[in-house]
Amino acid sequence: MPTLKELQNRVGVLQRHAQRLGFDHVGVAKAERMDEEAKRLEWWLNQNHHGKMSYMGNHFEKRIDPTKLVPGAKTVVTLTYNYFTEKKQKDEAAPKISKYAYGKDYHFIIKNKLKELLFSLQEEIGEINGRCFVDSAPVLERDWAKRSGVGWVGKNTMLIHPKKGSYFFLAELIIDLEMATDNPIKDYCGTCTKCIDACPTNAISPNGYYMDGSKCISYFTIELKENIPKEFKGQFENWMFGCDICQEVCPWNRFSQEHQEPEFNPHPKLLEMTKKDWQEITEDVFQEIFRKSAVKRTKFTGLKRNIQFLEKP
């Protein structure tokens, strides 16, 4: 049975290597079944707030119990990786893309860093079994981040850090190594309702903390493969891939700082393209600009659909 000092020393090793690899914050939680979160997820699914994202209803037990994903798991490590940038598309009339998709696909960039982190831990501490996750498996990442004190889940359902805002990716290591755990931090949203008031499709519930995913602009422009419902015409505020509105209005994002990850820098043409360029985009240009981008998820036909939906009838 490891002593408290040994458990704390393991966290020190984790933090040192995580910082070396560019991660901003690290939080540690005990790997256990999430009973309260399971109730909330079940309610959310029963309300059909996942829309056509049927995968959200799959693997329910794995989603709420990390030991079902990684047998023998003792610890869930949550890490954050900044993607904020002050860079903007030059033509203010051009259809907009979420900041997280400006550069290369974060799944691959961060997954490789997680693998290196796990390898470094194994080298320094000894045999550790575990898996790396970056938004691509049934893991309730925001709930784990909240449990481990990396931030609080705001009214816009984003994870918010009091010194860094919310423009960061979440990643997890689920491992069979016991570590000293962290505690949740306070919710600092207070009486603020800026995100609720600003959401043009009313996707955020009136009291906050619940998102109707089937009304979110990001859902329509990325996840939905069918035609976008006509009743939402004119409500997208020019977003063609994703949406940053609830982050742009969040007061805590005044603390966001420019990321230091070269792989997240946009293709030189991306910020230069005018509204007309986007309206006339060809598949060749799409493939060139978004060659290794998360925008590939929506495919050329999906992006064209989104752009056309933004046009006035």
Could you tell me which residues come within 8 angstroms of residue 282 by beta carbon, excluding any fewer than 6 positions away?
A: none
C-alpha of 32 from chain center: 22
Paired strand residues for 119: none
Amino acid at 187: D
- Tell me how far apart the terminal alpha carbons of the chain are, to the nearest angstrom: 68
Quote the DSSP letter at residue 7. H
Q: Residues 165, 168, 174, 177: is their CA dihedral positive or negative?
A: negative
212 belongs to the catalytic site: no
> Are 34 and 62 contacting, i.e. CB atoms less than 8 angstroms apart?
no
Nearest to 95 by CA among 299, 277, 295: 277
Phi, psi values for residue 25, rounded to 5°: -135, 150
d(CA 101, CA 88): 12
**How far is residue 46 from each of residues 19, 104, 219, measured CA to CA in Å?**
40, 35, 18
Amino acid at 34: M
Q: Which of 35, 91, 105, 135 is catalytic?
A: 135
Nearest to 249 by CA among 308, 208, 296, 278: 208
DSSP output for 80-100:
EEE-------S-TTSPEE-GG
> Are 81 and 263 contacting, i.e. CB atoms less than 8 angstroms apart?
no
d(CA 187, CA 197): 19
Catalytic residue annotation = 135
